[in-house]
Structure 1
Amino acid sequence: MSSPSTNAEEDAARRKREGTSTQLARLNEGKVEYIMPRAQLATAFIREFNDGTVVDKTMIRKVQESAKDKPIYYLVGMGLRDGMFRSMAIPLITSSDQSLYLSSNAERYTITSVGCSFCYFSFEKNQITGTTCGDNSGGSRCDLVVENSNNLFRKR
């Protein structure tokens, strides 16, 4: 934990590095209850893509490789840009009271399809490790880009 300094610019830079967390949902008997409206999540994803991608579906997806593994929840937004499938996933933080939070310091996984009608994230040990194209027609692929942070709800 860092302590406040007498330099306002340094304090502002530190706060930006430390990031912010926003509660999106909570778990109730294993089911996701959204606190933030899904339309607001879609708007945030459109802003985050910032390239003309129209997001029309958002979800919080549970990933759990085996029953003994602690599940990880991902916020996912899906849509199209110029007729090509796009998707973004960001891992969420699960608090002790079963609330799900998005941290601006969480990595951002973005898929862009090239000739593929639908792309899936591939997982290993509950972590995103790659992509899979939904149709196996030749020449189709799904490109994955990983960024170290996200700006979905970062205060500007």
Structure 2
Amino acid sequence: MVIVVAAVLLVGGAVTVVLLTTGDDKPTNTASGSTPVPPPQSGSKPPSSGSKKPGTGNVENKAEVEAAVTKVAQQYADAMNRKDAAAATQLTCKKVDPGVAYETAVGKFEATVLHVTIYSATRTTVNLGAKGVQTRGAPLPIVKEDGIWCVEV
């Protein structure tokens, strides 16, 4: 069981590295883009650095994003628990195979959804854990493509 969890965490870590080092190259901060940012006016307050939680990105509707992503993650976990590769495949973005997380962990433990991290309005990670095992879980990237949330594997 420990080896399985370690393998899932290793695969999840690799997926997270890929997720964080790839993605859309659209600038989200105009300070680094081509549009100049005016200097702060005297007497104006600098923006508070504690106004956003880390990992939430520039997302207006965090609750909606979290609910939608959690639903997809739960469906994927349920497919893993039923050993239903076809259902898991339909939840992936490419719809070619059920993905590395499924192939690594299916049938070895009962998958549970632990935590959602929102990086932007279209990129998130959900940690999947094993029922009855204390762990932070393995990250499962879920992205929004063409208006639909899907597992990026």
Q: TM-score, normalised by structure 1?
A: 0.30
Which structure dedicates a bigger proportion of its chain to strand?
1
For CA contacts below 8 A with separation 6 or more, give which structure has more relative contact order: 2
Which structure dedicates a bigger proportion of its chain to helix?
2
Q: TM-score, normalised by structure 2?
A: 0.31
Q: Which of the two has higher C-alpha Rg?
A: 2
